[in-house]
Amino acid sequence: MGERRASMIDRRLKAVIVIYLWAALAEDTVLFVMAWLAPDIWFRLFHAAVPTGLETALLRRSAGQWAAFALAQAVTLWRWKKDPVWLAVSAGVRFSDLFTDVSYILAVPSLTTLGWILLVPPPFLNLVGGHHAMRLQTSANACRGCRPLISVQAEMRLALGRTRSVACTAASPSARRVRRSTIGCCGSPPRTR
C-alpha cells in the first residue's frame, strides 16, 4: 500500500509540475511580448503611467530575460522525462525570477490594483514551483540510481561531451547513454539499494 501511495504522489507531483511549467511558459511568453512590443500598455496597466527616460529600455531588458526563461521552460517541458536535470534548470530559472519579482515590487513607485493582483503572486508561485521541480528532479535521479542532486554543470558537460570522465569516452551520443547507464550519473558508480 505504501508503494501505491508513493507512486500516486509521484503522479500528482508530475502533473503539478507539467501544469506549472506550461503556466510559467505562457506567463513568461506573454510578459515578453507585452514588454517588448507594447511597453506603453505595460506601464498603463500596471502603473497608470507613461514611460519616461530609460524605463522602456529597462523593461525591454527584462523582456529578454523573460524570453530566456520561456526558452528554458520549453526545453524543460520537452526534455525533463529523459533528463530530469532540466527540472533543476527550470527551478533555477524560477528561483532567480523570485528575486527580480520581489525587487520590482519593492522598488516601483506605484502599482495599479491590477498590478498588485498580477505582480504579487508570482514570487510565491516561483518559490513553490522551484521547490517542487527540485523535489521531482531529486526523486527522478534517485530512481535512476544516481546521486540525489546532480551538478547541472556536470550534466551539461556530459550532454556536450566536454568532460574527461569515463561516462563520456564513448564516441556517439547513443553509446554515451548506454555507457552512462551502466556506470551511473556523472561517472559515479550506480547506487546500490
Tens-place pLDDT, residues 27-36 = 889 989 999 9
pLDDT band of residue 168 (cuts 50, 70, 90) is: very low
pLDDT band of residue 161 (cuts 50, 70, 90) is: low
% of residues, the chain, pLDDT over 90: 15
Average pLDDT for 78-104:
85
Tallying the residues shown for the chain, one arrives at 193
* Residues 144, 170: Cα–Cα separation, whole Å: 20
Name the average pLDDT for the chain: 74
More reliable by pLDDT, 59 or 152: 59
Rounded to two decimals, the pTM is 0.62
Place of cell 539499494: 193
In this prediction, residue 133 carries a pLDDT of: 74
For 146, list phi and psi in degrees, rounded to 5.
Answer: -95, 170
For 108, list phi and psi in degrees, rounded to 5.
Answer: -70, 135
Neighbours of 154 (CB within 10 A): 17
Highest-confidence segment of 64-68, 86-90, 184-188: 64-68
Cβ partners under 8 Å of residue 136, min gap 6: 10, 13, 14, 17, 84, 87
With beta carbons less than 8 A apart as the criterion, state whether 107 and 58 touch.
no
Coil/strand/helix, residue 146: coil
